Amino acid sequence: MTHRTGQFLRVMRSVVLLLCLTAGIAISALGQTKTSKGTVNIALANANGIVLLTDSVQSHLEADGWHYQQPVQKLFRLDDKTVCSVAGFATETWTNPELKFRNVDVVGIIAEFRDELSKQPVPEFEAKLRALGFLVGTYIDLVANRHELEVGPGSPDSYKFEVIAAGYDIDGKPKLKKLVLTPVVTHGVDGRSYWSHTSIPLEATEELGIAHLFGGIQLISLQVLQNPQAFRTSAGIQKYARAKGEHNEKSLTLNELAELASGMAAQTAKRTRFVGGPDQIALLSGGRILKIDQPHFDDPPRPMRITLMVNCEISIGCPFEHNRRS
């Protein structure tokens, strides 16, 4: 007898990730948890295509204040028709050289996920996003609980994570969607704290022919959409302002959408040092990725191997028959 499990279909639809999380717990000195506090993620789409843009600065807090590193990869190609950008939790590293194998890096997690997608392609947009969110969320649970045991209570803000996916679904339709992973802690009867997370999906908002979805610092991007005339020094924003004044926002070309997104990021960078560096930008149209512009990044180390299996079925067999006698 064969059954398709409802839970797998709801959560991943056609994808199951098997994770062998076998890392042990040892008392030692924890290094740094790094979070891109001020990241700006901007996704825009109209009938001409999709733009996904992010900045390149990663920030983390140390005893002597905030530190900034750039360029850091925040935009990723998942396959030939899907890209994603991230904000929030980035890495957890260990100061003890003997424990570097326990470092966790979101860039490496996504790279491993992308490698598995290349071996086992998944056409459903929703399945890819939920599987990626499940995978990163599992690591976040792991490092948050490890921090609780070895160092003490951590901050939920340190492990909050956002991922925006942009691309084309199995039916060829464009898609923009975001997952927000928020750590939560529960207190057991044994007096210990246990970390898990919630995962909330958010759809793009469409207004007058342009769909938009923002991550990280969103306020300035929203202000640009609502009142572009206030940003007179940005040529890209002013093109949008003219189209908005003519009630013809959907007429913006793909390159003009890219200029608008870049203008939003530049205006945000003027107002906070947590945003900056070169734009990382992907352009998609006609059901595929046209190009990705970003600095060169070395192939990252993978924190742990995964196996991606597609269209799995669980079979439950009966090894014997029970015979009744009257």
Confidence (pLDDT) at 23: 30
Of the candidates 297, 293, 295, the residue with the CA atom closest to the CA atom of residue 51: 293
Confidence (pLDDT) at 20: 31
Domains and CATH numbers, the chain: 30-216+278-294 (3.60.20)
Calpha distance 92→179 (Å, rounded): 21
Of the pLDDT bands very low, low, confident and very high (cuts 50, 70, 90), residue 8 is very low
Highest mean pLDDT among 25-29, 66-70, 185-189, 256-260: 256-260
Would you state the pLDDT for residue 302?
A: 84
CA dist., res. 197 & res. 156, Å (int) = 9
Check pLDDT > 80 for residue 22.
no
Dihedral sign from CA coordinates of 82, 85, 88, 89: positive
Say if CB 164 and CB 81 are below 8 A apart.
Answer: no
Greatest mean pLDDT range, 97-101, 132-136, 146-150, 246-250: 132-136
Residue 11 clears pLDDT 60, i.e. is over it: no
pLDDT tens per residue across span 272-281: 999 999 999 9
The angle, 0 to 180 degrees and rounded to 10, between the axes of the packed helices 235-245 and 254-271 is: 120
CA distance 43 to 257: 10
pLDDT tens, position by position, 242-271: 999 888 888 899 999 999 999 999 999 999
Q: Are 133 and 12 in contact (CB under 8 A)?
A: no
- Report H helices in the chain: 6-11, 106-119, 125-150, 156-159, 219-226, 235-245, 254-271
pLDDT tens sequence across 142-168: 888 888 887 777 788 889 999 999 999
| Band (205; pLDDT cuts 50, 70, 90) | very high
pTM for the predicted model, two decimal places: 0.83
Q: Residue 287 has what pLDDT?
A: 97
DSSP characters for 127-166?
Answer: HHHHHHHHHHHHHHHHHHHHHHHHT----HHHH-EEEEEE
